[in-house]
Structure 1
């Protein structure tokens, strides 16, 4: 049994048009959901769904591919301060801008999906110079269809929707997503299904750009993950290879550094990575399965606060190189007609030292007895 709230059946301009049975059932479990629509500027028309689960909350954006805008636990913000100051409506994000970097005009989420046709660096036609694939793909700037909020009798909220990436004669793939949280949980879980809606085989890529800033990110913060193989993306990243897992404070003029890796996992393929603050009493962990997302990227952008002080923990089906490079190295998904590729992802907040220590111990246990292979230079098969 569950209570359902179908957004399309209610007044989208009001946060209060929830069906009474849903609202009553949610309160029984200490939960609430607020639906709002933003007005003015580049945010105009953006719809938000905010789930309050005790002292933990998060906001998803149906207008922007069902990404997660920010989360919060008590007074601790889980997200970052982007100079973009979104969420920006997709109509103001110029994905086809000739440089291929138009995607950045909308980047300010905690979790933004990159894909589906491509998820990496811009790529241009060798003969004409025209843009073939823009940075990080289109899925994050497509609005969701059929958005439904459900509450189970056990006190679990599920927000579901479908995001379609379709171009006549070119591409026809959809993302069906469910975002879940249980009463009392300090986090949420995502199940994505990439569905090939075409009558022939399609390819796809997916990367979860999980962006974290202050207060968890700061001078002395560190990322903990069960690395089995690691290499710097370029020579600039290689210069600081010895400190790849630790962070500086905000630094004006900092040039981003990126590290590609593969992680150890348990017998089921489950693994996780942790960002913890300098004192080790707060952190955020990201949970995924290496059979679904076999690659992991750490993006360090510890620029000045005004320029976007942030790091990215990024599980992916491939590395974020130009699409043709990844295809050449057999890192694109091949999905049969009407077939589905499933991905599970979770994010959890750790509010004290004991919780941080417990998840860190779990992570280090995954590599017990294993030595990581650390490449001191970019690898030809990994880095374009």
Structure 2
């Protein structure tokens, strides 16, 4: 008989998880750098019923991964600080209950609940309809609502490295067969989480793809006075509403009733390895979340501001991407789609670093300043032609 127990997860008292102590994904790994513990389970009851969950404890942080939801990261917790956001849908939601093909194209929003959500792979932007009003591409694509299989864990005792591996297939007869192989890498005693994603075109003809990492931060990191620090090379608002806040584009206020989202498109300064770093830090500078990514395959960065009432989803999104999240046809016209030849694999790399004290925040701030200290940013006060389909 499988030895299981029920447990609450982080700060989500309405959902229970049945942890499977005999799963091969449940283990304690002794390394030279310390212990790493993992455990596998499934949510029980409600709209989360059946969603797989893997929790990884590095000794200094816990990472909660949802393989059923495209290998998303649901939440990270460290030193009593929760990294994630309070979605009004109170998920996680099983993909079978998310109406991706809703005629509005907005069905994705009925399952949107995680710290890290992948948007893609065929499309990652605004919904698009044909001339007859039929949905062609739903908002943010399908990959976040497809379940992973081939789950496994690899580890190395000498270095303290552990990887959770899963594969997600996005396929349609005659149209596409894109395989995402995701590796989530951590190290014992470390706060950093690496996402190492490889996308392979398994059809006999070339394919095009898009990928965007929707990294969503709410309270307590997001609060009145919080800011995004980023080494800006070029910046433009998506639309006229966003243009109205261009002077405060990276500053966040307290929750505000009836706030309508603002979006800003950017290109960032990089170091000699073509890497760049951004950070959302709290108003008092005591905590934050940093994201480092390589611009070779993720050349753009988007900020999504949604500082609405807490009950409506008080959150901002940091979004490294292959393109800007306009309609796919517009991005095709601007030559921002990624082409993958038959059998070819494209790699995408980024990392998240929870910042749990003022010292860590200041160190990251210095890193960001060093990337842009000799560069004068170009700031467009109105939507830029060729960047936004609302320009």
Corresponding residue number in structure 2 for 1:208: 213
Does residue 295 of structure 1 match 2:300? Answer: yes
Paired with 1:313 and 1:363, the residues of 2 have a C-alpha distance of 15
- Deviations for 1:358-377, whole angstroms, at most 9, x for unmatched residues? 11111111112211000010
Q: In the TM superposition, what are the counterparts of 1:1-384 in structure 2 within 5 Å?
A: 14-19=19-24, 22-23=27-28, 25=30, 29-126=34-131, 128-153=132-157, 154-384=159-389
User: Are the counterparts in 2 of residues 26 and 151 from structure 1 also a CA contact under 8 Å?
Assistant: no
1:217-276 deviations in Å (ceiling 9; x for gaps):
000000000000000000000001000111010001000000000000011101010010
- Shift in Å, 1:349: 1.1
Q: Measure the CA separation in 2 of the matches of 1:226 and 1:24.
A: 38
Secondary structure of the residue that 1:366 maps to in structure 2? helix
Task: For structure 1, list consecutive stretches of 5 or more residues without a partner in the other structure.
Answer: 1-11
Q: 1:360 to 1:21 in 2, by over 3 A?
A: closer
Shift of 1:288: 0.2
What SS is found at the alignment partner of 2:331? helix
How many residue pairs get matched?
Answer: 372
- Per-residue CA deviations over 1:159-202 (Å, capped at 9, x if unaligned) read 00110000111111110110000011113101000100110100
Three-state SS of the structure 2 residue aligned to 1:216 is coil
Equivalent residue number for residue 11 of structure 2: none
Contact 1:250 1:302 in 2 (8 A): yes
- CA shift for structure 1 position 27: 11
Change (3 A) 1:159 1:20: closer
Cα shift at 1:380: 1.7
What is the aligned-residue RMSD (CA, Å)?
A: 1.6
